[in-house]
Amino acid sequence: MEHLPFSDANKGRVCAAGFDNGIVRILAITADGIDILKSFKAHDDAIAGIKFTKDLKMCCTASKTGDVFFFEIDGNMDIQKFDPLCTVKLPENSGVNDFKWNQDDNSIIFGCNNGYVFEIRRPKSSEIDNKDSYLWEDPDIKTWRIKIMEF
């Protein structure tokens, strides 16, 4: 579960939860309980996490198998605006453990089970052609291999 960054619109009471069936639910915590504000299927596999930029204009979801999906959202919290922008497939057997937007929100870093770390530059809608497919054919990805010393 991921809390959305605090804003005047959400008052720190909105969070997102991802499930094993690939569904994402945007939830509001109210005095009466929890309300589902929006629900959508982001992946075919289990969700590893959901992260929002600080400006609340982009959301990124990742599946445990290494599929990454970017959504454009409304910084003013029009919760109905979760527009799919593009998807990136990390190399096979990546197994996303965790990920986080950089301080400047210009890229997002993924730590994976296979010992690799991937950094993907934040996509811009002006450079993405998603009329036929959401697959971002040529994303700007930096790759590092973490080697573990064995004793």
- The residues spanned by each domain of the chain are 2-145
Q: What is the pTM of this model?
A: 0.89
Q: Which of 44, 38, 45, 46 is nearest to 16 (CA)?
A: 38
Element (H, E) at 134: none
Q: Which of 34, 70, 74, 57 is nearest to 26 (CA)?
A: 34
Instruction: pLDDT band for 13, please (50, 70, 90 cuts).
Output: confident
Domain at 2-145: CATH architecture: 7 Propeller (2.130)
The phi and psi torsions of 143 (rounded to 5 degrees) equal -130, 135
The Cα 97–Cα 95 span in angstroms is 6
Q: What is the pLDDT of residues 33-80, one digit of tens each?
A: 999 988 999 999 999 999 999 888 999 999 999 999 999 998 766 666
